[in-house]
Structure formats: C-alpha cells, structure tokens
Chains A and B, each alone.
Chain A
Amino acid sequence: MKRPPISHSRTVLRNFRLRTVLINFILLFLLAGMTVPALAHVGSPDVALEGNAGPYRLLVSVRPPDVIPGTAQVTVFMQNGSGSEVSAQPIYFYSGSKGAPSADVLQPVPGQPGQYKGLVWLMNDGSSSILLHVAGTAGKGDLIVPIVAVSTAQKKLPVVTGYVLILLGILLFILMVTIIGASVSDGLTRKGEALSAAGRRAKRIGIGMAVLFSSLIVYGGNSWWSQWAGRYRRFMYHPMHADYQLRQDNGMNQLTIHIDTANAQRKGWLPYVVPDHGKRCTCLS
C-alpha cells in the first residue's frame, strides 16, 4: 500500500527515533562478514543506518568524502527482496528534494546478493542527506540517510606522482629556458647561416632572463599553492578541544568541562551551548 507523503524533516526524525545506529563498526562487521577482520576507529565520519525503505529493510553505510567537494561512497545491503533497483540522490538542507539532481543508480556488487554500491556527489559543506530509492517486486520505498559534509583531511602528494611532477617540471623549466634563448638568437638567424657574435650575446641574455622569469613563475606558483593549502586547512574540520574533570563533592559526582574557546575553530557557535537545569543544551536554529 502506498504511504502518504511526509515531509523530509519528519522522515529524518522518525528514522532517527526508530532505527538510527551511528556506530559504524557494527555495520562494517555485518557487511564484511564473520571471516573478515572488522576494522573501525572512534571518531570516524562514516554513517551507518538500518532502516526501512517502504517494504524493504536496508542496512546503509555512507562514507562521506574527506574533502568537500567530493564523492560519498554509499553501500546498501538489502535484507529482504532482491533484484531490485536502488538509487541515491543528495539532498541539501536549504534546497530540499526540489534542488536535488536526478538519482544515480547504485550498482549490484558481484557475488554479494542484495548489496549495492555507488557514489553520490557532495558539492557543498554543511548538513545534508542522501535519499535512497528502492524499487522492486514488492513496490517502491524511500529512506533518508542524514550526513554531514565537511572536509576532514588533507592529503599528501603520493611519492610517485610527486617525482613524476618534479621531473616534468624540470623538463618544462629547461625547455622554457631553451625556447626563450632560441627565440632571440637561432630562431632569427637566416637558414644556413651561423649564429653571429651579437646573436650569441642575445642568446646568453635571453637564457639569463628566462631563468629569472621561470624561477619567478615557480616561486609564485609555490606561494599560491601554499596559500591555497593554508586556506583549506583553515576551513577543514578541527575537533573542539576540551578538558574533562570528574570530581566527587559531598557524595555527588560533578563533571567540569573546560572548552578551549580561544583556539576553537567554531568558537562562534559556542554561545549556542547553554546550561539548562544542570544539563548542557545545544540550541541550533
């Protein structure tokens, strides 16, 4: 039976209330199987969710990109029903399903019945979700997986790629110097004639200028790159640092949290953290 349409936010809340499991290693354990060692670490941004998409019971794992914009890797394990089509689309908080691109079909994983994999492109930072559509013999159903898109890592240049780029860079540098040297000397010499003394002098000056010019380009490029990387690091997610102290005072436990407000990346959000009847309350609009 077709369910009445419900709003996006209500669906999110209901899914959270009923079946949200945000402990990623459980899902990894289930998906990988008993014979494969399961690996997990605390603080992983991966999202795991068990929920219903209409008549289908799904186990979903989303590995958000560690760099935004980027692609999230979505894995869906369908516990009931097979031969269905599973597709996914990113939903942004401020543009809703109307602002979502058409859904991408997740491909079945060979040798893993009921398992589907695919990529979802996340272009903007912030709160968003992935809307899963399932269509099969039992009918159609949707499931929303809430995620947060934020850059969490800075990758290093692989050694091999680095060496290749350095070698090509050196080749380009030498070739540039050669070209500029030839442009003011050999290239202007009539066919068959030898380079004159003036031409040789011009060539030396040209090469000297080219070395200077090319070095400036390399220096400027490197500065630009560093500036770009610095800006990226500034906006990359840094966990807020806090010290915790648990003390016993007159037989009662007292928890004291000292938040590093001076160096916190998101210190602008701290006013939203307020005490409420002895408990911490986060107020977000």
Chain B
Amino acid sequence: MGNGFFISDSSYTAIGYSGNWGVLLSLFHKPRHMSLTITPPMTQPAAPAKTRALSGAATIPVYIYAVSLASLLTIVGILWDISWHRSIGRDKFLSPPHILIYLGAIFAGLFSGLQVLWNSFYRKEASKATMIKVWGIFYSSLGSLFCIWGAIAMLTSAPFDDWWHNAYGLDVKILSPPHTLLAMGMIFLQFGACVSLCKYLNAASRKRALLRVLFVIAATSLLTMVYTLFTDYLHIRGMRAPLFYIIAAVTSLLLLPAFGRALRFKWGITAITAGYFLLVGTSNWILQLFPSEPKLGPILTHLTHFQPAQFPALVFIPALAMDLILQRQTLNDWVKALLMSLAFVSLLAAVQYPLSGFLLESPASRNWFFGGDTWYFGNSPDLPFRYRFRPEDLASLPAVLEGLFIAIVIGGLCARLSLRWGKWMQTIQR
C-alpha cells in the first residue's frame, strides 16, 4: 500500500497519491478513468489506448452509488412510515422508519459533503476544472450540491418537526411546514442523484447500463415521493372524477418526459414507472407480512398486521406509449408533448377507471396482492362506504370527459416544460 500509483483522467494527466489516505479518499471520488500501476510514469502505456480511455469512459465514483441508494432509503422509509402511522399510530423521533429516512439524508449528505471537501482541498488544480467552484472555496459537482441541500433540509426538518409536535401536537396531517421541508429535502436529494448521474451519462461512459439502472432507482424514488405527497388527490376513490386525472397528468408529465430524455434509453419512462409499481407493490407485499398492533386510541378497527398503501396505479401502461412517442425523431417537442399528454391521460383513464371499481368494490381485491381491504385503525370497520364509492366520489360522464380534456391541455404544457428540462439534463457537464 505504500507504493505510489497514478490516475489518469480526461481533464488532467497524472495525479500521484501515496499511502492509505490516498486509497481511502479515492473511494469517495474515483476519477473518470483510473489506471493503477506501481511503475514509474515513463513506463505508462502508449498513447492510443489511453486516449480512447480518457475521451469518454468513466469509472463511477462511490458517492454516485451512495446517493442513489440514499434516494431509495428515504422513499422506502416514507412508505414504511405511512404504513406505521396507519397500523400502529404511535411513533418516536427514532422509530425504525424515521431512522431509515434520516439514514438516507446522512448517507447522501456525508458522501456528497466528503466529495466536496476532497475536491476542494486534496485534488490538484487541473482536476478541479471538472467541478463547479462554490463561494470561492469549494469545488463540487452540480448533483452533489442538490444532494447536500436536500440532506441539510431533511436534517433541519428534524428539530423543527420535534418542536412543531410540542407546539401544535403530534402528526395528524401529512402536510405541515416541517414535513414539507422534509419532503423538499428528499426531492432535492433524489433529484440531485439524477443530476449526478446525468454528468456521467452525458459523458458517454462505458458503464452506461449500470448508470441507467442507478438513474432509474433515483428517478423511481423521486416519482414515488411526488405521488406520495399527492396521495390525497391520487386515491382510488378519486379515479372516477376529473381531479385525479388532472393531478396525475401534472405530476407525471412534469417529471417523466425529462427523465426519459435524460436517461437516453428507448424505454426509459416505462422503466421508471415500472420501478414505481414494483417499489410500492413490493413494499405493500412485504409490510403486510409483519404483525403490528394499534397503539393509539381510539381504536375502532383492531388490526393485526401492517397495512399496505393502496395498489399502485398502472402508470407503466401509458408510459409505454410515451416512450414510443419520445422515440419519434421527426416530431418537434410541442407535438411530442401534446401527444404524450393525450396518450398518458387517455390510457390512464382507460386503465384506472375500471380498475378502481375492482380495487374498491370487488371482494376479489381483498387479498395480499391487491390489498383492497387495507384500512386505518381509527376508522370504523363498518363504515357504509368502506367498499363502495361515495356519491361525491362519482362524477358524471360529461364532467369526467371535460376533466380529461383539461388534464390533456395542462398535461401537454407540463410535458413541453419537462422536455425542455430533459434537454437541460442532457447538457449537464459537471
């Protein structure tokens, strides 16, 4: 370990490190291409092979894995926490789901922060040219800045939320100022992971397949987070009224076209939406296997196991059509956006409108797979509309059609914005 070794990168020629410290630091940020040798510099390989390696191929730094994993940890923690509140009710600052969420924040913040410190104080000047100079002192990648913001916001929300509980009572609503700060932090963290990955995806790395998998993980986490925030509007009971489709169009079409474009993969949107389905579905299927007991009165339904979230929407079906539209090179972005919105809204309605009836009303949905009988312990099990749509849930056909039209128009504008956003993601260099 005491021997020196040399690292080559597209933007700098050779940087020497020695000793264990150098090896340790290299874990936090491996340069875009690294060759290890114990021979003196003059014995390095001839130029052609090295030039090819330097021109685009990149080794993925460890922090990239860390922030992708952190994205996943935070959203899994949130899904678990929601189930915890519906099944047990009582929680503490350091409940297992909270630990998972804050572990994600610490994980992302720590790795991104160390990467910034290392870039700022240990790397040579030439290598700093691959980074953004921040406040005249620090050198960071753009994605790391997003992740650091997210981690600080999440950790700031902890004492804020603790005081909030003391001042205004324990959680009875998802959306409160400290929870919103937490959610913003998570969204920034997850988006930061996507931006960090874009830098390497745009550099035409040889490990593009792995980068795409990591991007899908981060984007899936972000999509799930946004859907979770809008749960009140994206509920099964809302699938026969216009508002569901308007909110679904806005949230989905703001994100998915950008992700599809940034991912540079034919079936990127499908992969991300399928990831959402698998993430929520798997959480539901696993959580139900564990026993739990409500710990907060009044308990009107005595539950015996963790309650799943509602069955995830089959967004991957309209996503297939969106991918097909995105693949069409001849269409301009305005036409693509409108077609994507049209395809998304109409296919989503075609799938979810009938499916909502099955999930809510059919006894066949009340099982481990669909979770149609999921319930909150504070609600009476005999509520008259537990397994039926309430009258206010059902809109007339003209009202639904009008809502779908509004969703297509708003969704088209969101998709156009998102496509432009995707182009920006394709140009990230640092």
The segment out of B97-105, B145-153, B266-274, B326-334 that lies at the interface is B145-153
Contact at A182–B132, with CB atoms within 8 Å? yes
Contact at B135–A178, with CB atoms within 8 Å? yes
Residue of A nearest to B166 (CB): A155
Q: Would you list which residues of chain B between 255 and 295 have a CB under 8 Å from chain A? A: 293-295
Contact at A176–B429, with CB atoms within 8 Å? no
- Would you call A3 an interface residue if the criterion is a C-beta within 8 Å of the partner chain's C-beta atoms? no
Residue of A nearest to B138 (CB): A178
Q: Would you list which residues of chain A between 161 and 218 have a CB under 8 Å from chain B? A: 161, 164-165, 168-169, 171-172, 175-176, 178-179, 182-183, 186-192
Given contacts A157-B163, A186-B133, contact A92 B298 (CB under 8 A): yes
Contact at B430–A189, with CB atoms within 8 Å? yes
> Which residues on the A side are within 8 Å of B130 (C-beta)?
191-192
- Would you call B37 an interface residue if the criterion is a C-beta within 8 Å of the partner chain's C-beta atoms? no
- Would you call B167 an interface residue if the criterion is a C-beta within 8 Å of the partner chain's C-beta atoms? yes
Contact at B295–A102, with CB atoms within 8 Å? yes
How far, in Å, is A271 (CB) from chain B's closest CB?
28
> Which residues on the B side are within 8 Å of A168 (C-beta)?
152, 156
Q: Would you list which residues of chain B between 7 and 52 have a CB under 8 Å from chain A? A: 10-11
Contact at A165–B160, with CB atoms within 8 Å? yes
A168 to B181, CA, bound (A): 12
Given contacts A100-B297, A123-B296, contact A187 B132 (CB under 8 A): yes
Contact at B11–A121, with CB atoms within 8 Å? no
> Which residues on the A side are within 8 Å of B133 (C-beta)?
186
> Which residues on the B side are within 8 Å of A91 (C-beta)?
297
Contact at B148–A187, with CB atoms within 8 Å? no
A99 to B134, CA, bound (A): 57
Contact at A154–B152, with CB atoms within 8 Å? no
> Which residues on the A side are within 8 Å of B429 (C-beta)?
187-191
Choice from B293, B294, B297, B424 contacting A92 with Cβ under 8 Å: B297
How far, in Å, is A73 (CB) from chain B's closest CB?
14
A169 to B169, CA, bound (A): 23
- Would you call B364 an interface residue if the criterion is a C-beta within 8 Å of the partner chain's C-beta atoms? no
Contact at A192–B172, with CB atoms within 8 Å? no
Choice from B11, B149, B156, B169 contacting A69 with Cβ under 8 Å: B169
- Would you call B354 an interface residue if the criterion is a C-beta within 8 Å of the partner chain's C-beta atoms? no
- Would you call A244 an interface residue if the criterion is a C-beta within 8 Å of the partner chain's C-beta atoms? no
Interface string of B122-142 (1 = CB under 8 A from A): 000000011011110000001
How far, in Å, is A150 (CB) from chain B's closest CB?
11
Contact at A172–B152, with CB atoms within 8 Å? yes
Contact at A228–B145, with CB atoms within 8 Å? no
- Would you call B300 an interface residue if the criterion is a C-beta within 8 Å of the partner chain's C-beta atoms? yes
A92 to B295, CA, bound (A): 13
How far, in Å, is A106 (CB) from chain B's closest CB?
15
- Would you call B428 an interface residue if the criterion is a C-beta within 8 Å of the partner chain's C-beta atoms? yes
- Would you call B385 an interface residue if the criterion is a C-beta within 8 Å of the partner chain's C-beta atoms? no
How many residues of chain A get a CB closer than 8 Å to chain B's CBs? 49
Choice from A161, A171, A175 contacting B163 with Cβ under 8 Å: A161
- Would you call B96 an interface residue if the criterion is a C-beta within 8 Å of the partner chain's C-beta atoms? no
A224 to B169, CA, bound (A): 16
Contact at B167–A179, with CB atoms within 8 Å? no
Interface string of B161-201 (1 = CB under 8 A from A): 00100111110100011001100000000000000000000
> Which residues on the A side are within 8 Å of B428 (C-beta)?
187-188
A267 to B296, CA, bound (A): 31
- Would you call B397 an interface residue if the criterion is a C-beta within 8 Å of the partner chain's C-beta atoms? no
Residue of B nearest to A66 (CB): B166
Choice from B10, B156, B295 contacting A169 with Cβ under 8 Å: B156
How far, in Å, is B31 (CB) from chain A's closest CB?
12
- Would you call B238 an interface residue if the criterion is a C-beta within 8 Å of the partner chain's C-beta atoms? no
- Would you call A221 an interface residue if the criterion is a C-beta within 8 Å of the partner chain's C-beta atoms? yes
Given contacts A178-B135, A221-B177, contact A95 B300 (CB under 8 A): yes
Given contacts A191-B129, A192-B11, contact A70 B149 (CB under 8 A): no
How far, in Å, is B248 (CB) from chain A's closest CB?
24
Contact at B298–A187, with CB atoms within 8 Å? no
Given contacts A165-B160, A187-B132, contact A182 B145 (CB under 8 A): yes
> Which residues on the A side are within 8 Å of B148 (C-beta)?
175
Q: Would you list which residues of chain B between 390 and 430 have a CB under 8 Å from chain A? A: 424, 427-430
Residue of B nearest to A167 (CB): B156
How far, in Å, is B142 (CB) from chain A's closest CB?
4
Contact at B152–A171, with CB atoms within 8 Å? yes
- Would you call B299 an interface residue if the criterion is a C-beta within 8 Å of the partner chain's C-beta atoms? yes
- Would you call A268 an interface residue if the criterion is a C-beta within 8 Å of the partner chain's C-beta atoms? no
- Would you call A89 an interface residue if the criterion is a C-beta within 8 Å of the partner chain's C-beta atoms? yes
- Would you call A146 an interface residue if the criterion is a C-beta within 8 Å of the partner chain's C-beta atoms? no
Contact at A182–B296, with CB atoms within 8 Å? no
Most chain A CB atoms below 10 A, which of B142, B146, B167, B172: B167
- Would you call A68 an interface residue if the criterion is a C-beta within 8 Å of the partner chain's C-beta atoms? yes
How far, in Å, is A176 (CB) from chain B's closest CB?
6
- Would you call A225 an interface residue if the criterion is a C-beta within 8 Å of the partner chain's C-beta atoms? yes
Choice from A128, A165, A192, A229 contacting B156 with Cβ under 8 Å: A165
Other than the given A67-B169, A172-B153, A225-B177, 7 more pairs (CB < 8 A) read A67-B168, A69-B169, A155-B163, A165-B159, A186-B142, A187-B429, A221-B181
Q: 25 pairs across A/B with beta carbons < 8 Å?
A: A67-B169, A69-B172, A70-B170, A95-B300, A99-B299, A100-B299, A101-B294, A101-B296, A121-B90, A121-B170, A121-B295, A121-B297, A123-B170, A151-B169, A155-B166, A157-B163, A161-B159, A175-B148, A179-B149, A182-B134, A183-B142, A187-B132, A188-B429, A192-B11, A192-B129
Residues of A within 8 A of B (CB): 67-70, 89-92, 94-95, 99-102, 121, 123-124, 128, 151, 154-155, 157-158, 161, 164-165, 168-169, 171-172, 175-176, 178-179, 182-183, 186-192, 221, 224-225, 228-229, 232
